[in-house]
């Protein structure tokens, strides 16, 4: 019996944000990228990306964090869709709609997440069913964080962040994120990190035993103590108020705090859901933070949430 697959007329994919539990940065390579030893952790703060067949390529953005997202050809989700079309020899344009709840230029890989989601959504819409390794290769071309957002969970990242390896992590963690009204440019933060280091020799980064142990134990207190980010000093140098946000979170009972990726979002790990609520309220009431989000991790990577709808 022949069973022609029913192609959906639209596909919606949900994709998480990430925080780097550990982000160790080496000296810049010849291509300008920095070698990393990082631990990625996906958290339950999501964007939703919907793709639908259209007469021409296009992108639209809505939702609480849509301000500042480009809606032209530079949009990373649109670029992802176009790149997949080229690889899959597809000649059917799509319109990409992004519902954003992940902060823009916030150090939580919002743009990379949308690109990962667009790859998964278009792969399904066009019935390509590409092997995961091939999707990961396209993802890596789009950005260093994009492959991780395909898989989610908790993973080690090396190379420029695109080489993933599993890590043994137990349990789930509760997070409070302090959002900033303005973003930071990732290249600017890396450049500031290089500037602050000056001529000081930098050793090749490798992940710390403390972090591995904290993840194996699933103990939020141990995780709080092990959080570290080599870009933190650079982010604070460019946005000094982040130092006050970190101090406030720790003073209000967080088990640990760290600038997320290249910032300016600050991530705090807490004991449980109740502690997350308490910290979120305290940070908001203190006036040190304009906006907070609570989340848990690890979260699943980009995954379809639309049921198949015959076209």
Mark the binding-site residues for ATP, compressed into ranges.
103-113
Q: Which two tokens stand for residue 117?
A: 């989601």
Identity of the residue, 157 or 224, whose beta carbon is nearer to ligand C5P in the bound complex:
157
Mapped to the 3 state alphabet, what secondary structure does 42-63 carry?
Answer: EEEEEEEEEEEECCCCEEEEEC
- 């990625």: which residue's tokens? 40
Strands 266-270 vs 58-62: parallel, antiparallel or unpaired: unpaired
> Is residue 57 near ligand C5P by the rule CB under 6 A?
no
311 binds ligand C5P (CB under 6 A): no
Q: For ligand C5P, give the closer residue by CB, 123 or 230.
A: 230
Q: List residues forming the annotated binding site.
A: 103-113
Token digits of residue 94 = 């799509």
Q: By CB under 6 A, what part of segment 111-150 binds ligand C5P?
A: 143-145
Q: Is the sign of the CA dihedral 292, 296, 298, 300 positive or negative? A: negative
Measured from the CB of residue 196, what is the shortest distance to ligand C5P in angstroms? 14
Instruction: Answer yes or no whether residue 160 interacts with ligand C5P by CB under 6 A.
Output: yes
Between CA 201 and CA 112 the distance in angstroms is 31
Paired strand residues for 94: 53
Question: Is the Cβ of residue 123 or residue 145 nearer to ligand C5P in the bound state?
Answer: 145
Express the helix, strand and coil content of the chain in percent, nearest 5 each: 35, 25, 40
Task: Determine if 308 is a binding residue for ligand C5P (CB under 6 A).
Answer: no
Minimum distance, C-beta of residue 34 to ligand C5P, in the bound complex (Å): 4
Q: Which of 161, 205, 249, 257 binds ligand C5P (CB under 6 A)?
A: 161
Which residues from 165-224 bind ligand C5P, rule CB under 6 A? 186-187, 190
Applying CB under 6 A, the span of 29-37, 100-108, 226-234, 297-305 interacting with ligand C5P comes to: 29-37
Q: How far is the CB of 237 from ligand C5P (least distance, A)?
A: 16
Q: Kindly report the number of other CB atoms within 10 A of residue 217's CB atom.
A: 14
Q: Which residue, 144 or 232, has its beta carbon nearer to ligand C5P?
A: 144
For residues 34 and 124, which CB has a smaller minimum distance to ligand C5P in the complex? 34
Q: Exposed, middle or buried, 3 (CB in 10 Å: 0-12/13-18/19+)?
A: exposed
Among 14, 18, 34, 79, the residue binding ligand C5P under the rule CB under 6 A is 34
Residue numbers annotated as active site: 18, 145
Strands (E), the chain: 10-25, 36-53, 58-62, 94-99, 154-158, 163-166, 173-179, 228-229, 256-259, 266-270, 291-297, 303-304
Does 36 contact ligand C5P by CB under 6 A? yes
How near is the Cβ of 33 to ligand C5P at its closest, in Å?
Answer: 4
Would you tell me which residues interact with ligand C5P (CB under 6 A)? Answer: 33-34, 36, 143-145, 160-161, 186-187, 190
């Amino acid at each position: 019996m022949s069973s022609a697959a029913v192609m959906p007329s639209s596909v919606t994919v949900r994709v998480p944000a990430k925080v780097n539990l550990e982000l160790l940065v080496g000296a810049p390579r010849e291509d300008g990228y920095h070698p990393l030893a990082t631990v990625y952790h996906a958290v339950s703060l999501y964007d939703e990306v919907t793709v639908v067949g259209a007469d021409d390529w296009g992108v639209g953005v809505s939702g609480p964090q849509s301000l500042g997202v480009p809606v032209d050809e530079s949009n990373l989700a649109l670029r992802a869709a176009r790149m997949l079309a080229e690889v899959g020899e597809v000649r059917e344009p799509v319109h990409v709609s992004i519902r954003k709840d992940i902060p823009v230029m916030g150090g939580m890989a919002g743009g990379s997440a949308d690109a990962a989601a667009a790859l998964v959504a278009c792969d399904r819409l066009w019935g390509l069913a590409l092997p995961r390794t091939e999707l990961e290769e396209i993802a890596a071309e789009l950005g260093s964080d994009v492959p991780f957002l395909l898989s989610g969970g908790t993973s080690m990242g090396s190379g420029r962040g695109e080489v993933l390896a599993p890590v043994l992590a137990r349990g789930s963690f509760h997070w409070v994120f302090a959002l900033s009204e303005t973003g930071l440019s990732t290249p600017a933060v890396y450049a500031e990190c290089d500037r602050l280091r000056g001529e000081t020799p930098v050793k090749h980064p490798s992940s710390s035993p403390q972090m591995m142990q904290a993840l194996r134990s699933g103990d939020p207190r141990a995780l709080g103590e092990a959080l570290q980010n080599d870009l933190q000093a650079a982010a604070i140098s460019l946005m000094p108020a982040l130092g006050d946000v970190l101090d406030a979170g720790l003073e209000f009972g967080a088990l640990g705090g760290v600038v997320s990726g290249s910032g300016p979002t600050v991530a705090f790990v807490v004991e449980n859901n109740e502690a997350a609520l308490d910290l979120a309220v305290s940070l908001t009431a203190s006036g040190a933070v304009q906006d907070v989000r609570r989340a848990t991790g690890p979260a699943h990577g980009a995954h379809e949430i639309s049921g198949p709808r015959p076209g």
